[in-house]
Structures are given as structure tokens and as C-alpha cells.
Chain A
Amino acid sequence: EFDSWAHDEL
């Protein structure tokens, strides 16, 4: 399951 909060970049 893709963790959509994985966007830790600007």
C-alpha cells in the first residue's frame, strides 16, 4: 500500500 504521506520533498 503506497504511503501517500511519503512526499517529504518540497
Chain B
Amino acid sequence: MNVFRLAGDMSHLLAIIILLLKIWKTRSCAGISGRSQLLFALTYTARYLDLVTNWVSLYNTVMKVFFIATSYATIYLMYLKFKATYDSNHDTFRVEFLLLPVTILALVLNHEFSFMEILWTFSIYLEAVAILPQLFMVSKTGEAESITSHYLFALGSYRLLYIFNWIWRYYTEEYYDLIAIIAGVVQTVLYCDFFYLYFTKVLKGKKLQLPA
């Protein structure tokens, strides 16, 4: 564990808490993409099945349980409890265009052709693109509430911090995992446009307006 990975996990934790608070406090999931949340739940389910097979540390286990529990809690809030506020008209990104290539890539490009390893690889590739429906929805609605942009900033920062973690681990432990690194870079690059708008607008108190 290093400071970058811990900061990344905390940023990820913060993002999920911000999202849950937003939905719970405003009793609305307006502006949030349910499809992205479904993809995140699938990502964590596929990646954290090893919860039952191998023990890394208490921290690792607690965080995995938390990420799985909160991702399903978010889906429950969006698709059941506050279903009336779910904006399905703007949440229209074709997720099959993500799932199919990610599945094929996981079967072809992995470290080891085993069930658990292919699931892990699938989850790494899926996480890289899981935010696309959300970013698509923000561009379609042309704007996002500031709480939603703080959620996106924390979520985008998490994998950016992981990139520093991988650089750190490469130089200190000579550890690197190209699949995680490449997917992590792709994932972070997808946020660049949003990061720019976040720093130039949201942090100046303006609303996040995207040129629709």
C-alpha cells in the first residue's frame, strides 16, 4: 500500500458517498445515469468474486464489500425507490456497444485463460468505459448539478491516483500490470474533457454547462 493507492481508494469511496448522499438527500437521481451504475455494479461483482477465494487484507476485504454493497444500493435507489426521478429519456447510451467489445477483449487479451482471471480482466476493461453513459447523459442534458460534478471529479481522480500508484510500485517494487495500467489510462483520459470543465467552471461557482 502506498499513499497514491490509499488516496485513490479514498477518492473512490468519497465519490460513492457523494452519489448516495445526493440521491438520498434530494430524494432524486436526476442527472445520474442508471446505466453507468449498472456497469459499475457488474464491474465490482466480476472483480470481487475473489472475496470468497483469497484473502489479501482486512482493508482489501472491507473495501470490496463496501463497493459491492454501495453499488447495489445505488441501483436499488435509482431503479426502485426513486424510480420516478430517474431520467431514462436522457440515459440512452447503448451499453451493448461497451459490453460486447469488453467481453471479447477480456477473452483474447488476459494474463491467464482461467475463469477468475477472465472475470477480473473483464471488470478492468469494463470499468475503463463504464462512465461513458454518464458522460453521454451530461452532454445530452447539456448540464450537471454541481454535486454530480463533484461525484464525477472524485470518481475520475481515483483512477488518476492509481496511475501514480502504478508508477510508484514500478520503481519501488518492480511490479506492474499492463492490463490494469492501460485500462486505467484510458479510463482517466475519458475524464479529461470533464476535468477541464470542472476546473474552469465548477470551481468558479458556475454550473457545469456542456456545449450540447
Contacts and interface: CB of A to CB of B under 8 A. Distances in A.
27 contacts: A2-B111, A2-B112, A2-B117, A4-B111, A4-B112, A4-B114, A4-B116, A4-B117, A4-B120, A5-B54, A6-B177, A7-B50, A7-B120, A7-B177, A8-B56, A8-B57, A8-B60, A9-B5, A9-B162, A9-B165, A9-B180, A10-B9, A10-B12, A10-B60, A10-B63, A10-B64, A10-B67
Size bracket, chain B contacts = 20 to 34
A8 B50 CA distance: 11
Interface residues of A, number: 8
Interface of B: 5, 9, 12, 50, 54, 56-57, 60, 63-64, 67, 111-112, 114, 116-117, 120, 162, 165, 177, 180
A8 to B, nearest CB: 5
Given A7-B120, A10-B63, 14 more contacts: A2-B111, A2-B112, A2-B117, A4-B112, A4-B114, A5-B50, A7-B50, A7-B177, A8-B56, A9-B5, A9-B162, A10-B9, A10-B12, A10-B64
